[in-house]
Amino acid sequence: MVFFRSVTALSRLRSRVNQQSRLTNSVRWIQMQSSSDLDLHSQLKELIPEQQERLKKVKSEYGKSQLGNITVDMVIGGMRGMTGLLWEGSLLDADEGIRFRGMTIPECQKVLPAAKPDGEPLPEGLLWLLLTGKVPSKAQVNALSKQLQDRATVPDYVFKAIDALPASAHPMTQFVTGVMALQVQSEFQKAYEKGIHKSKYWEPTYEDSLNLIARLPVVASYVYRRIYKDGKIIPMDASLDYGANYSHMLGFDDPKMQELMRLYVTIHSDHEGGNVSAHTGHLVGSALSDPYLSFAAALNGLAGPLHGLANQEVLLWIKNVVNECGENTTTEQLKDFIWKTLNSGKVVPGFGHGVLRKTDPRYTCQREFALKHLPNDPLFRLVSKLYEVVPPILTELGKVKNPWPNVDAHSGVLLNYFGLTEARYFTVLFGVSRSLGICTQLIWDRALGLPLERPKSITMDWIEKNCKKAA
């Protein structure tokens, strides 16, 4: 009996050791940095040679390995599901959602430095994580936050370029115009024209990227105030962090709204490389276009209704539900409205995803924020009811692979609650956030010497002839 108890105890111990080992590997990025260096550039200078050697080894050992089979459906269907990009900052799993450098959103919320105890992660900390793969200390995040503030000066001609557009122009049009105007100061372009060695491309790309990230909230808030607040501009507050300052410059100083902005920028920062905006930024950057040109191209992709513009469509659709059915919409009324939307040839905005097959973790963390800060808001209660009603209907429809809500299903309701009610502006918020992931990858593209992107295209005639031969 003693023997069997000992075996059982030993078995349990081994199980715990194995579980601990797996846990250690899965959250290896959670370990705090031993380095006390507060400068992000110095950290990258140490990391890049290691990762360059790692890439050489991967190419040498696994270069001929098969990653999957490409079908005609994939070619015709927008390359959906084809593995064809190297993207270091994040990885998207169909079942568990996004991981930033191996970390889930709840893990990021737990270990990344916050502005206050039990608060939302600071976007500066997420940027550090994306770039280095390591969780920064609070001191390192504070140093990066100060550096971004020092870089945030926007030349007057940028505002004049925006002012040349009518105030009625879509906020994304005005925002992209501002980004293109910023390009005049590109450090990469200057260095390239002087003949910089390709091994050093990453350094001016780093400078451009941090300058761009720093200046985007200034440009974005200018667009908002110009369109919706009679052009009354609010200057930056040196005492605030990146997310809180963006909220402040927009005109929202509620501490809860500042917390929301920190969360919003963090969870929208990156979503691996295959989505339209990320892929566009990488594609244009592969031609050695500087970060301003690359990011402006990415923003133009984000502005499409099937990508970033969806977040404005969700709130407008929800408000249509309220206008037609009232705030206290019954389940039956909601079902009727949803079927009415589907039968008119439209989709229910905020539901479904090209990769995910479960509820988007970015939706979940926003729902948790709402339960904490605005549990009785009528629009939030409606969003909760949609979570119960929409998936069964989409499942019944039989054409939807993922009937669950995505990130866009929730963000507009939160912003609306705190007073940012202008849905047409929401995609600009998305754009500011996405700069962290896209610029991170541009820096690593140059550091690793990734080549010009040039996939092969084929014609329908080629498909027909070759498939007949194969048959």
Q: Tokens standing for 238?
A: 């040196």
Contact indicator for 373, 262 with CB cutoff of 8 Å: no
The SS3 of residue 146 is helix
Out of 282, 353, 360, 410, the active site residue is 353
Q: Rounding to the nearest 10 degrees, give the CA dihedral for residues 218, 223, 225, 229.
A: 180
What is the C-alpha end-to-end distance of the chain, expressed in Å? 66
Contacts of 339 (CB under 8 A, 6+ apart): 393
Report helix, strand or coil for 337.
helix
Cα 213–214–215 angle (5° rounding)?
95
At residue 365, what is the residue type?
C
Active site residue 282: no
Can 408 be counted among the known catalytic residues?
Answer: yes
Q: Compute, in degrees rounded to 10, the torsion defined by CA atoms 176, 181, 182, 183.
A: 100
**Is residue 410 annotated as part of the catalytic site, yes or no?**
no
Strands (E), 277-353: none
Catalytic residue among 208, 241, 360, 408: 408
Q: In 3D, which of 155, 151, 175, 156 has the Cα closest to residue 165?
A: 175
Per the CB < 8 A criterion, the answer to whether 406 and 306 are in contact is: no
DSSP 264-293: HHHHTS---S-SHHHHHHHHHHTTT--HHH
d(CA 225, CA 243): 17
C-alpha–C-alpha distance, residues 414 and 424, integer Å: 15
Please identify every residue annotated as catalytic. Answer: 307, 353, 408
